[in-house]
Amino acid sequence: MAEQGGCEGASQREVSKAGQPAREQSSFFALMSRMKYIERWALMRSTHPENLSEHSLEVAVIAHALATIANVRYGRSLDADKAALVGLFHDMSEIITGDMPTPVKYANGQILGAYKDVEARAELKLLDELPDDLAPTYRRIFFPEDEHGNVSEDEAYLRALVKAADKISALIKCVDEAHAGNAEFTRAKDSTQQKIDAMAEEYPEVRDFVAEFLPPYGQTLDQLL
């Protein structure tokens, strides 16, 4: 009986520590971990399949770089760490929706509008999986509006740089496929390059990254070192 009493006490301590009630389980991060199962470029023949987890990491790295360039060279006061976080989570809705191919998504305004609505609902569904005390912190990563529904100039600029990082990551994928001798991505490369060129005219950080850091992509390790 003494042993049973001891086990019962241990179990109770696991459930309640420091007098606090046990917290409910949350599936939020388990869902986030499923990014690695979402394949990008689903309609394309790839020499190396790319999943959402790989893409999101690359976007986070590039977004941080763009925000840093903005601060160091162009007098901005952006939160580069937040830019990385926004980049890391920017496609989280695809955990639920999957990756809709770009030609389909942008086929017409009606499809795009419907997809944006589904995307927003998916993001809210994922946020609902968070504990109430943590949800506001993560909500600020996903949605730029403040409590009054406004977006500051710096916040809007940061989000624009994350979108640019997303496009640069897509271009890097196209470059990698081209260097592997895969012509499947030729049109995607040209159209993505045009979008980035337009962004570079508006955002000097994008222009700098493309000029300084993009050319080595596709080279071998011996060439890079």
Q: Which amino acid is at 23?
A: R
Residue range 100-114: mean pLDDT, rounded: 68
How confident is residue 99, by pLDDT bands cut at 50, 70 and 90? Answer: confident
Assess whether pLDDT exceeds 70 at residue 138: yes
Residue 187 tokens, joined: 């049109």
pLDDT value of position 12: 45
Which stretch, 12-21, 56-65, 114-123, 183-192, has highest mean pLDDT?
56-65
| pLDDT, mean of residues 104-128 | 78
Structure confidence at residue 88 (pLDDT): 96
Share of the chain above pLDDT 70, in %: 86
Write the CA distances from 87 to 20, 80, 225, integer angstroms: 35, 11, 27
168-203 pLDDT tens trace: 999 999 999 999 999 999 999 999 999 999 999 999
pLDDT at 193: 95
Average pLDDT over residues 18-36: 85
CA atoms of 68 and 148, how far apart (whole Å): 28
Mean pLDDT value across the chain: 87
Residue 198: per-residue pLDDT: 96
Q: What is the pLDDT of residue 107?
A: 63
Count CA atoms closer than 13 A to 12's CA, side-chain side: 7
Gap between the Cα atoms of 196 and 172, Å rounded: 12
Instruction: Report pLDDT digits (tens) over 49-84.
Output: 999 999 999 999 999 999 999 999 999 999 999 999
C-alpha span between 116 and 124 (Å, rounded)? 12
Contacts of 128 (CB under 8 A, 6+ apart): 135
Give the pLDDT mean for 155-168.
97
